[in-house]
Amino acid sequence: MIPEPGEESLAVLLLPSKLEGFELEAHARELLSIPRVIALEPSRFRTPRPLRNAVGIRQARRLPFPGRPRMIVLYHPAQYPLARALLSHDDELELWYVPPDAASLADSAELRDLDHLAREHATQIVAVRDGGEVPDADLRERMRQLGVINARAFVPVAPSRRGSSRRR
């Protein structure tokens, strides 16, 4: 799939925490070395459970991407509400899920439910090997097919402000 001129294909990493100190930081940094890959860290503020879906929908509408997201890489089910909101805006957007260790979800029914939903809606699940290695050859190949990885220079498209008008 080749993007239209001026419309860059992007991959969006939804990180579960700040990049520094994240258990799969090395993998995320490798992907971030690709010019058309961007990362979103979660808000510093904890959203109350009843508002999480609404906040995810609002965030998805307001994110000024410098191109068109083609792939979301989800690292933790806590970020699934935002992923779901982004997916609802584009039928061609793919979700790739790199789930955390199941033991880390054992104490939270909510996280287990979100994990189940993420697995259900994922285009592909990428299992982390012992030692934290992420076998991502299929992920990178799909990035090539979607135009995220390509030889063209990255020229970001300036995001437009919906509903804004300037008067002179």
The pLDDT of residue 167 is 36
The pLDDT of residue 61 is 65
| Mean pLDDT for all residues in the chain | 84
The pLDDT of residue 77 is 95
What is the C-alpha separation between 109 and 114, in angstroms, rounded? 9
Angle, CA 126 vertex, CA 17 and CA 8 arms, to 5° = 75
Domain boundaries, the chain: 9-43+69-146
Exposed/middle/buried for residue 35 (C-beta within 10 Å: 0-12, 13-18, 19+): middle
- Give the tokens for residue 7: 């419309």
The pLDDT of residue 44 is 65
| pLDDT greater at residue 131 or residue 69 | 69
The verdict on domain 9-43+69-146 having CATH code 3.40.50 is yes
The pLDDT of residue 26 is 95
To 10 degrees, the CA torsion angle through 88, 90, 17, 39? -170
- Give the tokens for residue 121: 């809606």
Question: Helix 80-87 crosses helix 109-121 at what angle (to 10 degrees)?
Answer: 30
8: pLDDT strictly greater than 60? yes
The pLDDT of residue 152 is 84
- The structure's pTM equals 0.83
52: pLDDT strictly greater than 80? no
Question: Helix 52-62 crosses helix 80-87 at what angle (to 10 degrees)?
Answer: 50
Q: In this predicted model, what pLDDT tens digit does every residue of 87-129 receive, in sequence order?
A: 988 889 999 999 999 899 999 999 999 999 999 999 999 999 9
